[in-house]
Amino acid sequence: MDIPDTLTTRRAVLGGVGTVLTGGGVVYAAPHLGAESSEPSGPGAPGSTGVNGSDGTNGSNGDSTRASQDTGFHHSTGTAGLGIDLAGHPIMGSMDAPVDIYYWTDYQCPFCKRFEHGAFPKLVENHVRTGNVRLVFIQFPYLSEGSMTAAVMDRCVWRQVRESNPSHYLRWHAAMYDAQGEKGSGWMAKENLLDLTRGVEGVDAAAVETCMDEHRSDIETSLETHRKYAAEELGIGGTPAFILYNRAAEKAGKVTGAQPYERFDEAITRVKNA
């Protein structure tokens, strides 16, 4: 695998440098940028990173929470280093991990399912559980109307479990990919997804349904805002897509597609040691 030696700087990622991905591999852009570029005004503007995050806290990440267990799930109202508003997104792993992986996914995407059943378990075992990486799950519903329904339900499931049983989110998330059907088959209809949810231990399907009925419009607006920001400012055009980010060094790399674990392992090492 041919991976250039230089890593993309934070400003380069935000400015669209190094966003062209070849063959689904890892691509890094040269770090020299010249003059300081203006920051975008997307959700969670990067200017708030480092001090006074969107939750009003101070710290390296603007995070409102800190990990008590490196293997658990957490939530935050802070802003990540690339201007990604963390509110509403499940975060797996230590909040103090040196490398963020932002993972954009669509429950209708067959390549996301391939990643979930392929590299994902080893990535969690070898890098999330060891404290190297915190993994941020971000919905990018773009393949069908059902993708949006599933993304709204994802948000509602997370709202329902995040305070008391956050680890149950992963059970539901995995069940969604296990049940994935063909595009246009109707498997992503709301009632079908609620039936699936009823079979997931620890998730209250009735509460999820109430959340969807009462808050769907607001959640869809939030999802569209995040999707637009990821597409226009970070160059995310499909799923699965990943940005690996060293917050301390402000260096980043991209991985796109259902790549083998070895590519993620090498990319994490490069970004961590930047």
Find out whether 142 and 153 touch, Cβ atoms under 8 Å: no
Helix, strand or coil for residue 134?
A: strand
In this model, does residue 20 exceed pLDDT 80? no
Q: Which range is least confidently modeled, 19-33, 99-113, 256-270?
A: 19-33
The residue type found at 201 is E
Q: Residue 139: which of 223, 209, 257, 82 has the closest Cα?
A: 223
The residue type found at 227 is R
175, burial (CB in 10 Å: exposed 0-12, middle 13-18, buried 19+): middle
Find out whether 248 and 60 touch, Cβ atoms under 8 Å: yes
Q: Which range is least confidently modeled, 28-32, 95-99, 204-208?
A: 28-32
Three-state SS sequence of 244-269: EEECCCCEEEEEECCCCHHHHHHHHH
Find out whether 135 and 124 touch, Cβ atoms under 8 Å: yes
In this model, does residue 253 exceed pLDDT 50? yes
Supply the pLDDT for residue 48: 27
Supply the pLDDT for residue 11: 53
The one-character DSSP state at 163 is T
Bridge partners (DSSP) of residue 256 are: 241
**What percent of the chain has a predicted confidence (pLDDT) above 90?**
63
Supply the pLDDT for residue 185: 87
DSSP labels, 71-127: TSEE--SSB-TTS-B-TT--EES-TT-SEEEEEEE-TT-HHHHHHHHTHHHHHIIII
Q: How many CA atoms lie within 13 A of 28 on its CB side?
A: 22
In this model, does residue 65 exceed pLDDT 90? no
Supply the pLDDT for residue 214: 97
- The pLDDT tens digits of the residues spanning 102-153 come to 999 999 999 999 999 999 999 999 999 999 999 999 999 999 999 999 999 9
Among 12-21, 180-189, 220-229, the range of highest mean pLDDT: 220-229
Cα separation values, 138 from 106, 199, 201, 224, 255, Å: 9, 23, 23, 12, 15
Supply the pLDDT for residue 216: 97
Supply the pLDDT for residue 113: 97
Supply the pLDDT for residue 224: 96
The CATH topology of domain 84-272 is: Glutaredoxin (3.40.30)
Q: What is the pTM of this model?
A: 0.78
259: left (phi over 0), alpha (psi -120 to 50) or beta: beta
Give the residue extent of every domain in the chain.
Answer: 84-272
Write down the residue that tokens 């997804």 correspond to.
193
Find out whether 3 and 246 touch, Cβ atoms under 8 Å: no
Helix, strand or coil for residue 105?
A: strand
